């Protein structure tokens, strides 16, 4: 089975469309959450994503938008964006957000893999460092966890009681590129496809990944998108200017 992995789209329709245009052939799509928040196209992103299939886990921005959690853990800019998003998501999409499942989820026919927003131990945890990844890797009975939330493409492989970080090695800063990772049979992995709509690893290009369960090959992808279009929409919506400028920096 060939799985398309999307995460942290954050209402960035231009980035989502660029990823879908470049995505390799796939059998299912799994969305790791945070469809909304920060960007200016929440309804369009939800509607496009719903057309891609039925496999989703909820993110913290999805939960704050539909009122499942409050704003207390959001910084001021994220909080302003969350309030804007609450005001703009339509009733049907709001109800759909409310019903998104909490991760981890598993897919029928895909043994040995789970899908979460933050960490399999807690949907809100940020797995940013080798130390952060050690506990969930040790605790997991499954060899493969796909996660999002950090907006950093790459992941962690178990190493004794700890873990080692890896990230794809690209050669350009503006072109469409992909980078393959062959999974070793005896290892446990946590893999982040990166953020479609608000990358934070210093690379402005939209990020996603694909996974072929037969060949056990993960492919990381980066694609340029209509950055200016996404920024213009954010500014026209009166969202914080920082949400537009940070897209260009990939930070
Ligand atoms: Zn996010």
Condensed to tens digits (0 to 9), the pLDDT of residues 13-34 reads 999 999 999 999 999 999 999 9
Is 48 a member of any domain?
A: yes
Asked if the structure places residue 119 within a domain, the reply is no
Q: How far is the CA of 171 from the centre of ligand 1 (A)?
A: 26
In a domain, 71, yes or no: yes
Domain boundaries, position 61? 2-111+166-185+192-249
Would you place residue 65 in the very low, low, confident or very high pLDDT band (cuts 50, 70, 90)? Answer: very high
Question: From ligand 1's centre to the CA of 8, what distance in Å?
Answer: 5
Residue 196 Cα to ligand 1 middle (Å): 9
Can you tell me the mean pLDDT for 31-44?
Answer: 98
Cα 185 to ligand 1 centre (Å): 30
> From ligand 1's centre to the CA of 186, what distance in Å?
30
pLDDT at residue number 247 = 98
Scan for tokens 């999002």, then name that residue: 148
Average pLDDT over residues 143-148: 98
Would you say 180 and 135 are in contact if contact means Cβ atoms under 8 Å apart? no
How far does the centroid of ligand 1 lie from the alpha carbon of residue 61, in Å? Answer: 7
Is there a domain that residue 23 lies in?
Answer: yes
Output the CA 57–ligand 1 centroid distance in Å. 12
Number of separate helices (H) and strands (E) present in the chain: 8, 11
Residues 6+ apart with CB under 8 A from 108: none
Average pLDDT over residues 38-44: 98
Report residue 3's pLDDT band, with 50, 70 and 90 as the boundaries.
Answer: very high
Number of domains into which the chain is organized: 1
Distance of CA 235 to the CA centre of its chain: 23
Answer yes or no: is 124 within a domain.
no
Query: For residue 102, is it within any domain?
Result: yes
pTM here is 0.97
Confidence of residue 124 (pLDDT cuts 50, 70, 90): very high
Q: Residue 159 Cα, ligand 1 centroid: separation in angstroms?
A: 27
Residue 134, in any domain of the structure: no
Give the number of other CB atoms < 10 A from CB of residue 39.
30
Question: 128 C-alpha vs ligand 1 centroid, how far in Å?
Answer: 13
Q: Where are the alpha helices (DSSP H) in 140-197?
A: none
* pLDDT reported for residue 89: 98
User: Looking at the domain assignment, is residue 140 inside a domain?
Assistant: no
CA 230 to centroid of ligand 1, rounded, Å? 17
Cis peptide before 202 (omega within 30 of 0): no
CATH code at position 75: 3.60.21.10
């Amino acid at each position: 089975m060939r799985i398309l992995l999307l995460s942290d789209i954050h209402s960035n329709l231009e980035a989502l469309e660029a990823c879908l245009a470049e995505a390799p052939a796939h059998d299912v799509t799994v969305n790791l959450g945070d469809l909304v928040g920060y960007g200016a196209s929440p309804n369009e992103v939800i509607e496009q994503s719903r057309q891609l299939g039925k496999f989703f886990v909820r993110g913290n921005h999805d939960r704050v938008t539909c009122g499942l959690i409050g704003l207390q853990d959001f910084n001021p800019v994220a909080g302003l964006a969350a309030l804007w998003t609450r005001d703009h998501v339509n009733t049907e999409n709001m109800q759909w957000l409310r019903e998104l499942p909490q991760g981890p989820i598993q897919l029928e026919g895909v043994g040995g893999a789970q899908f979460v927003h933050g960490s399999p131990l807690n949907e809100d945890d940020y797995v940013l460092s080798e130390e952060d990844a050690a506990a969930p890797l040790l605790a997991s009975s499954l060899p493969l966890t796909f996660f999002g939330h950090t907006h950093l493409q790459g992941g962690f492989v178990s190493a004794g009681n700890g873990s080692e970080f890896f990230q794809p090695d690209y050669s350009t800063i503006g072109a469409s590129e992909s980078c393959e990772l062959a999974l070793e049979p005896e290892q446990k992995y946590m893999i982040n496809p990166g953020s479609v709509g608000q990358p934070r690893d210093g690379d402005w290009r939209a990020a996603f990944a694909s996974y072929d369960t037969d060949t056990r090959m993960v492919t990381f992808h980066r694609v340029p998108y209509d950055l200016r279009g996404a920024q213009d929409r954010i500014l026209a919506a009166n969202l914080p200017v920082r949400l537009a400028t940070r897209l260009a920096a990939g930070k």
